[in-house]
Amino acid sequence: MSERRLEPRLREARVAMGLTQAELAEKARVSRKTINTVENGVFTPSTTLALVLSRVLGQPVEALFHLLDDDDLPPRAGG
């Protein structure tokens, strides 16, 4: 089974707009911690939240989140 991972590009989009995590959280009506975990790839947001972030940042969802397939992933050590 192929391994897939979500690579968030939220931080780049936020910084490009000159927003802090707290400001983006305020605009998206979520907690700052939610933004922090999404940016760090710790938490995968729901479709609703992804669409809200996309709307707030004025970018399509695909620009904020990139799906990495096993071909894109770095090879495992010894594998």
Q: Name 8's bridge partners.
A: 65
Q: Contact region for other proteins (CB under 8 A) — 1-9, 30-38, 61-69, 70-78?
A: 30-38
Q: What is the residue whose two structure tokens read 């969802």?
A: 61
Closer residue to other proteins in complex, CB, 10/79? 10
Give least dist CB 2 to other proteins, A: 24
Q: What is the residue whose two structure tokens read 């983006």?
A: 24
User: Scanning residues 40 to 59, which ones bind other proteins (CB under 8 A)?
Assistant: 40, 42-43, 45-46, 49
Q: State the residues that interact with other proteins by CB under 8 A.
A: 22, 25, 29-34, 36-37, 40, 42-43, 45-46, 49
